[in-house]
Amino acid sequence: MGTKGEKATSKGRLVTELLVSKLDVIDKISSKKMFGGHGIFRQGKMFALVNSRGIVHFRTNDSSYKKYEAQGFEKHRRMPYHAVPDKVFDNPETLLDWAKEAIALSKNNTR
């Protein structure tokens, strides 16, 4: 999800496809184009987004965001999503753990 009016990019699309592929062990993961980026969903609840520059963000809440900000990754504007560090994205086990946490937050709609 990018800035309103921002155009989707091939990098954003490719990162979205890669993320969905990496999370294929979790059932019912899908993506949808939104505002120049992509929303990532599980069972109709958005738990992640990929902006038009191809940066992955996971849903966070008041306690989970601390591990993102401790590594210097900021919040996605006013939305409760934080950028996912490359070292997490590149580690399949850690990525799954962080994704499952974001999925749980999306189910509970907790902030």
Mean pLDDT calculated for residue range 89-109: 90
- Compute the mean pLDDT over every residue in the chain, rounded to the nearest whole number: 84
List the domain boundaries for the chain.
Answer: 10-108
Look at 45-54, 61-70, 85-94 and tell me which has the smallest mean pLDDT. Answer: 61-70
Based on C-alpha coordinates, what's the Rg of the chain?
13
Nearest CA-CA partner of 12 in 58, 39, 59, 51: 51
Per-residue pLDDT at 92 exceeds 80: yes
Handedness of CA 51, 12, 57, 33 (dihedral sign): positive
Residue predicted with more confidence, 76 or 40: 40
Question: What superfamily in CATH does domain 10-108 come from?
Answer: YgaC/TfoX-N like chaperone (3.30.1460.30)
